Amino acid sequence: MNTHTHTMKKHATRITLSISLSLFLLISCEKETPKETPTPPTITFTGVDETGEHKLKTGESVTLTAIVENAINPLYSWKIGGKIVSTEPSFTFIADKLGEYFANFRVDAENGSEGGQVKISVLEKLPPQITLPSAAVAFIGVDKTFIAEADHAENATYLWRLNGKTVSETASYTFNQSDMKSYLLSLKITTDDGQDLKTITVTVLPEQQPTLFFDNGRYYSSNNANEPRTMTVPVGKNLILTPVIINISNPTTFEWNVDGTIQTTATGAYFTFTPPAQGTYRITVTEQSTNTSATVAVACTPPEGTHKRTGGANKYATDAFYYMPAPGQFINSLEATTPADALSALQKWCGKSASYFHIGAFGGYLIVGFDHSVENKQGFPDLGIAGNPLPGWCESGVVWVMQDENGNKLPDDTWYELRGSETGKPETTQRYAITYYKPASTNQYPLWTDNMGRTGAVYTAYPKFITETHYTLIGTCLNSTFGIDAGLEASKCYDWGYVDSINNSLDHPGSGEFWIEDAIHVDGSPANLQYIDFVKIHTAINAQGAAVGEISTESYIPTDLNF
C-alpha cells in the first residue's frame, strides 16, 4: 500500500505530544489485548435448487446434506414439524404424502450456532423444468452443440426447432450457420407429467482469430487493426511492453524482435526496452504456439521534462480527444449520430465543473487533456476526478495518465495506469479485452465476447454513433462487488484509487483524489512520472443488475489540484 508522506509533514508539535502521551500511557497502565470474536460456522445445502426448495413426487426420496464449515466440535440436528429426524449432516426424506414440508437444520459448536431451512414440495405430478440461457453466441461455420438440461425429465421426448423448423428430436442439437444474424432456437421437453418450452436467441458472429496487439489506449476494430500502433519513451528511461492476447488459450513462449534483432534473453510476455539513443524503433512480439505477431513503433524522445508546459489558464481539463463508450443506458441521450458529434459533446463538457459524463459498460472510455502539465507533488493528491457514487452503490472507473513526451500536444505517447486498492490482486485482470457486437435488429441487445472465453449480453443500447458492427475495448477489469444488500441491488466501493467510488483509505483520503506518483508500468512497477498532460478514464467492472442496468462509470471533468 502506498504510504504518502504528506501526513507526516504536518503538525510536528502535535505528533511529539502524541508520542509523549503514548509513552505515559504505556508506563502507567497495562491494556488487555482484546479477544477476537470467533468466526461462527457456515452452512450450505446440497439437493436443493437456487430458491432453497426441492420438489419431488410421491413415492420418491431425496437426501439432503448440510455442508458445514468452520465448526469446532459440532452437534447437528434436522427437524420437521418440530420433531428431530436426524442428528447427522445428512438425512433422507421419503415423500409418502402430498404437501409442503420444512426441514430445519441446526449446528451447535463451540464457536457458535447456525441454522437454515429447506422447503420440500411433494407433488402428484412434476412437469420438466428446462434450464437454458435466453441468449447465446455462435460463430460463422463453427459447430455449437446445445444440450437439453432439465429437471424432472425422466423418459422425456425432445423437440428442437430453429426459426420454426424442426431440426432435432434428441437431447442435443448441433447448430452451424454461415450467415451473421440472429436465430430463434426453441426446445420443448415432454413427459407423462407435462411439458416445458424455452426459446433462446442465437446470434452468429465472425469467429475470433488468434490476435495480438499493443494497447495504445484506444479501441480495436477491423477499421483500425492494420493501423500502426505507436508509443514513446524519453531517453534514459525504460518502457515495459506486453501485448493484449485474444483467442490464444495457452500462450507459452514469446519472441521479441527489435529492428530485426531477436532478443534472446526475452522469452516471456513482458519485455523491458531501454533505447540506447533517440530515434524510432520497430518492436515485434510473436506468440510461438500460434505464430501470431504484433508490432509497435517506439519513439525514443528527448529527456523527460523537455516538453513540459507551464502556465495554463484553466484548472480543468480543456481538450477532448477521444470518446468511445461501451453500450449503456444513457449513451444515446447525447443524440449524436456520428463519432464527431459525440466528441463535440465531450468538448463542450471540458473546461468547467458542470456535470458528469457517461461512458457505458466495461471498457467505455474518454480521453481529455490539460492546457498545461500537471505536476506530481510527492505526498499530495494531484488530480481531482469526481463521480456520482453513493454508499453501497459505486460504478468504479480506472484512471490512466500520459505525458506529452513527443511534444505534439496529442495523446499518442504511452499510457500509465494509476494503481488503486485492487491493483495486483488475483481477481483483477490486466489487459482484459471485451468485444461488443451491434444487434441485428432493434429489439435485440448487444452481445459480447471477451478474451477469457466468456460471452454475454448488455441489456441496453448499442451506441448509434459507432459505425463498426463490432469493436473491442481494453482495460483493467476489477472483480465485481455487485450483489443484493437488504433486498436491493448494490455495488460496493473499493478502498481507494477509482473514479465514481467512495474512497475512504487513510493512505488516500478523500473521494475522487488521485496521485500521479501512483502511475505504474504494465508490469506494476512504478513509472516515476514528474508530471502528466492527458487523462483517460474507463469503466472497470463487467456486471449489470436487473433494476439498475449495467455498471457504468460517470465521471466529472478532471481537475488539477495543484492549480
Per-residue pLDDT tens digits for 377-407: 998 999 999 988 888 889 999 999 999 999 9
pLDDT band at residue 288 using 50, 70 and 90 as cut-offs: very high
Which three-class secondary structure state does DSSP give residue 426?
Answer: coil
DSSP structure class, residue 442: T
The grid cell for 234 is: 524519453
pLDDT of residue 50: 65
Claim: this prediction has a pTM higher than 0.85:
no
Q: How far apart are CA 192 and CA 56, in angstroms?
A: 15
pLDDT exceeds cutoff 90 at 270: yes
Higher-pLDDT residue of 13, 96:
96
Would you state the pLDDT for residue 504? 67
Cβ atoms of 421 and 496 closer than 8 Å? yes
CA distances 216 to 402, 423, 474, Å, are 11, 20, 9
Q: Per-residue pLDDT tens for 38-65?
A: 788 999 898 777 677 888 889 889 999 9
Displacement of CA 350 from its chain's centroid (Å): 27
The DSSP H or E segment spanning 341 is helix 339-349
123 residue type, one letter: L
The pLDDT, as a whole number, for residue 36 is 60
> What is the rounded average pLDDT for all residues in the chain?
89
C-alpha 534/C-alpha 532 separation (Å) is 6
**pLDDT score, position 3:** 41
Q: Tell me if 220 sits within 8 A of 471, measured CB to CB.
A: yes
pLDDT score of 37: 67
Domains observed in the chain: 42-123 (2.60.40.10), 129-205 (2.60.40.10), 211-301 (2.60.40.10), 319-424+493-560 (2.60.120)
The secondary structure of 215-279 as a DSSP string is --SS-B-TTTTTSPEEEEEETTS-EEE--EEES-SS---EEEEETTEE-TT--SS-EEE--SSSE
> Which of the four pLDDT bands, split at 50, 70 and 90, describes residue 134?
confident
Provide the pLDDT for residue 442: 77
- Tell me the torsion sign for CA atoms 545, 551, 552, 555: positive
Cα separation, 364 vs 475, in Å, equals: 9
Position 503 scores a pLDDT of 76
- Asked if residue 112 lies in contact with residue 48, where contact means CB atoms within 8 angstroms, the answer is no
What phi-psi label fits residue 25: left (phi over 0), alpha (psi between -120 and 50 degrees) or beta?
alpha
Q: How far apart are CA 461 and CA 199, in angstroms?
A: 22
Residue 291: all three cell numbers together: 505464430
- Report the DSSP beta bridge partners of residue 77: 106
| C-alpha to C-alpha distance for 266 and 548, rounded to whole angstroms | 47
Q: How confident is the model at residue 481 (pLDDT cuts 50, 70, 90)?
A: confident
C-alpha R_g of the chain: 29
Please tell me the chain's helix, strand, coil percentages from 3-state DSSP, rounded to the nearest 5: 5, 45, 50
